[in-house]
Every structure is written in C-alpha cells, then in structure tokens.
A and B are shown apart, each in its own frame.
Chain A
Amino acid sequence: MPFNWPLLLLVIAVAVVVLGASFAGMYFLNKAIDGSNR
C-alpha cells in the first residue's frame, strides 16, 4: 500500500487549524477581560 501523503497532509492541516483556533480564541477572549481586575 503506497504511503498516503494527502491524508497525512490533511491531518497536519487539521491539527494546525484546531490549535490555531484554540489559541486565537483564548487570546481574544482573555484580551477582552484582562482589564477588568475581577
């Protein structure tokens, strides 16, 4: 069975998107509340 390059690349792309969305989401949400001091 040949090595499935498209699948590997797709899974890497998915990992990048998930991590990117997690970090970006946390960055923006926390930025909005950082000045609250609560």
Chain B
Amino acid sequence: MHLIPQSWSHFHILVSVFPSVGLAFVLAAFVVAMSTGNELMKRTCLVLFGILGVLAIPTYFSGDGSAASLANNPRFPQNMVDAHYGWSMAALTVLVLLGIASFFELWRYGKVGRLSNDMLNLVLGLAIATLGLMIVCGELGWDINHIELRAVLQRGANAASASDIPDNTQTPQAWSHFHMILNHFPTVGLVISLTLFITALVNNNEGMKRTGLVLLTLCAILGIPTYVTGAAAMWAISEIKEITTHAAGQDPLVNAHRDMALATLFGLAFTGIAAWVELWRYRYLGRFSNRSLYTVLTFAVITLAIMAETGHRGGQINHPEIRTEPVPTDITGYLSPYVENMINNVIWFVPWQTVHFFGYSIVFGVVTAVVLRIFGFWKSMPFSAVHRLLPLGVFGVTMNVFTGMLMLMADTFRYVNETSFIPKMFLLPIGATAVLYFSLNDALWATKAGEDAPMQAKWFAALLLIAWTGVIMGGRLLPYV
C-alpha cells in the first residue's frame, strides 16, 4: 500500500495532511463532545490533539528536507516555498501549543480526576486558530507543486489539441483545485473517524459510537464530490504537458488512479450506508447492534486500505519527485476506459438512466413527505412516522450516485463543462448531509402527533427541499443552459 515514504517529499505529503485535514475532523468531534458533555470523547480528542501536536515535528523536518532536496528544481519556485515556510512556521507553532495544552490537561486530569472547562475552551480556541493557519499554509503548499493552477494554456487558433478537448474550450482548473483539497477529507477523515469509532467500541461509549457513525457517513458523502471533481480534473490537466502527454482518459497513471477510485466509491457507499442504517435503527431500538457496528468497522477498514492505494496512485500523477518506479506506458488493461466505452452504448445507458430517474423520484417523494410533516401540513402524524421513510430516500440517493457516476463516465467532458453541473454537484452533498440531521435531532424525534416541529428543523427542511429541487433542476437543465 506504499505507506512507507521513500523521500522527504513523500513523507511531507503524507504527514502534513494530518495536522490540517485531520485537525478539522478532531475539532468537529471535540465540539460534539463539549456540547454533549461526553467526557470520554473529550479525553480522546485531547489525546488526538496531542498526537497532532507531536506530528508538528515530522511535518517540519520533512518539509525542511523536501525544500533542501528540491531547491534546484525549477518546478518548485523558491518564492512560493518561502511563503509556505513562513505561514507553516506560524501554524506549527500554534499546533505545538495546542499539543502542549492538550497533554497538560490530560496530565492534570490524571491528578484531579476531572477536566477543567477553562482549559477545554483554551484547547478549542487553539485548535480553531491552528486550523485557520493550516488552511493558509496548506493552500500555499499545494500551490508550490500544482503547476496546473497557474498554467496558461497556449494554443494556436486552429491547432489540434493534445487531448480531444475541442479547440478553444478548456475545463477550468477550479476542478483540479477542488479535487486536490477534497480528496484529503474522505481519506484522512476516515483515519480519524475510525480512531474515534474503535475507541468507542472498546470503551462501549454510546455517544462516541454515534459520533463515529456520523463521521463515517460524512466521509462517504464527501466521496461523491471527490470522485466527480477527480473526473473533471482529468480533463483540466489533460493539456498540461508537464503533467501528462496523453489524451484525457488514456494516461496510464490517471487510469490506474481512476480504477482504484471506482473501488473506493463502492467501499465508501457500503461503509456510509451501513453506518447510517445503524443510526436510523438506533432511534427505534435505543441501542446499537454489535453485529452491525462490527460490520461497519469491517467495511471502513477495507475502504481505508483501498483508499490508501487510491491516494498513492493519485499522488503519482502530479508528483514526479516522489516516483520510485518507472511510469507505465501501456495504455491498455484499465477498467475505467472500458466502462466509459460500454456506457456509451444505448443498451447500457438507457437502463442506467432509468434507474437514475427512479432514484430521484424516490428521493423527492421522501423529501416531500418529510418536509410536509416538519412544516406542519401533516401534524396528525408523529415525526417518527415519516422518519421510517428515510431509508427509502437514502436508497434513492445511492441509486442516483452510482447511476449518475456511470452517466458522467459516458461523456465526462461535456457534463463537467455544463453550467448547471456545478450547482447540481454543490447541492447534492448538502441534500445528502441534511438527511443526517433528521436522523440525529432529538427534539425533532420527540415531536408527537399534533405537535409543531422545532423551528431549527423547519430551516433544515427548507434547505433539504431547496437542495434536492436544485439537484433535479440542475440535472434536467444540463444540456440546455
């Protein structure tokens, strides 16, 4: 799985995403722990903050080592390295303070047997400050290597393009930029989520189990925009000679990555659905089934292994400085181009499109029922009655994601360059995440027949309605606007 780095640059790429993206996940869990008063989760987050603080050391030394080894490489401009270094020093300093504060509080807890609210708030403040600085230095770090972000495509008026992108048309680099940022969330997020989930299982902590399941579901949802932006990024980089000399869809490095990403999407779907169904069942049974929890754990571990390989293959595309093996030249034998070719045949495309239409019909039906109850049109029913419909909605979303992905593969270039595709892809994860709210909110769950739903739930219901209406409208308008 190529987990052992073989150069400073490789090590820096691997380790540096934990104090940035990993921190975001730990921070989310810490906020949940503080708002629910879950002591074990607070302590677990403090341990994780402490470990992230320790990671400041390898992050600094690997970055320093990379800068030294790549100093004469024209691909990495010195002024950009300097800017990244300056902000990184600030971010790592606050990260170390966060680690020290976390370990100090854990040590103090060992002495007095309880956590200090003031110290927890200090840790929270330091974590937010670190995250803010990490966003800046992360962005500056990505800019150093990702030359496509500053590339200006030079092309003669009627020159044949390097790929089959029609002349005078190019896929915006915003897609590669988003993919580069997004892909770290399901990957690093899965590591942090699994850590919390396993700790919860070992200590039999219900609140932490719920948090772990929620984070695993979120990782699965984030896999959707990651895959889509990846497919679009393939077109965005296809005319950057420093990255690929192959036509879009034919680069062996990209196809090796895409094939594994396809497997990852399935893994994430299994993990996310299994996690969410257990959250849904918990509402009715009031307890978790150990068999289901361990099923989720198995799916998550397998997905993480597949994802590590996907990430490694993705890194090979645009990081020549970390390659240790020769770049493959054989363009045959990859699954994704085969699927693309197959799905372009009407006998495959139309049935999958039918499933896609069934999918959003089911989703919109469930959304309408849930929204009508929350808005107060169906007060005669308790909320728990419409809550029963939610798995059908999740099933619809799953159908739509997979069939939508296949339809996307039929003509990726056209889809990703359509105006209404961007809002559609922006609203899809929002609509999917909003479903989590309806299976987690205690006040909403307690809404009995004849009672008004909480105002907060009404806002979420409006968001859900707008999101799914936008997704459907965005899809229908694809070829026309």
On A, residues with C-beta under 8 Å from B are 4, 6-7, 10-11, 13-15, 18-19, 21-22, 25-26, 29-30, 32-33, 36, 38
Contact = CB atoms under 8 A, between A and B. Distances in A.
Given A19-B358, A25-B392, A36-B284, 16 more contacts: A7-B347, A10-B347, A10-B350, A11-B350, A13-B351, A14-B351, A14-B358, A15-B358, A22-B395, A25-B391, A25-B395, A29-B280, A33-B284, A38-B283, A38-B286, A38-B384
Contact of B281 (A4, A15, A26, A32): A32
> What does DSSP make chain A's interface, helix, strand, loop or mixed?
helix
Contact of A7 (B281, B346, B384, B391): B346
- The residue in B280, B286, B384, B395 that gathers the most chain A C-beta atoms within 10 A of its C-beta is B395
Contacts of B286: 36, 38
26 contacts: A4-B346, A7-B351, A10-B347, A10-B350, A10-B351, A11-B350, A11-B351, A13-B351, A14-B351, A18-B355, A18-B358, A18-B399, A19-B358, A21-B395, A22-B392, A25-B392, A25-B395, A29-B277, A29-B281, A32-B281, A33-B281, A33-B284, A33-B285, A33-B388, A36-B284, A38-B286
A4 B347 CA distance: 9
B354 interface: yes
Interface in B322-356: 346-347, 350-351, 354-355
A14 B395 contact: no
Nearest to B396: A22
B362 interface: yes
A7 B9 CA distance: 52
A14 B355 contact: yes
A1 to B, nearest CB: 12
A14 B349 CA distance: 12
Interface of B: 277, 280-281, 283-286, 346-347, 350-351, 354-355, 358, 362, 384, 388, 391-392, 395, 399
A29 B358 contact: no
B398 to A, nearest CB: 10
A18 B395 CA distance: 10
Nearest to B389: A26
A32 B284 CA distance: 9
Contacts of A36: 284-286
Contact of B347 (A6, A32, A38): A6
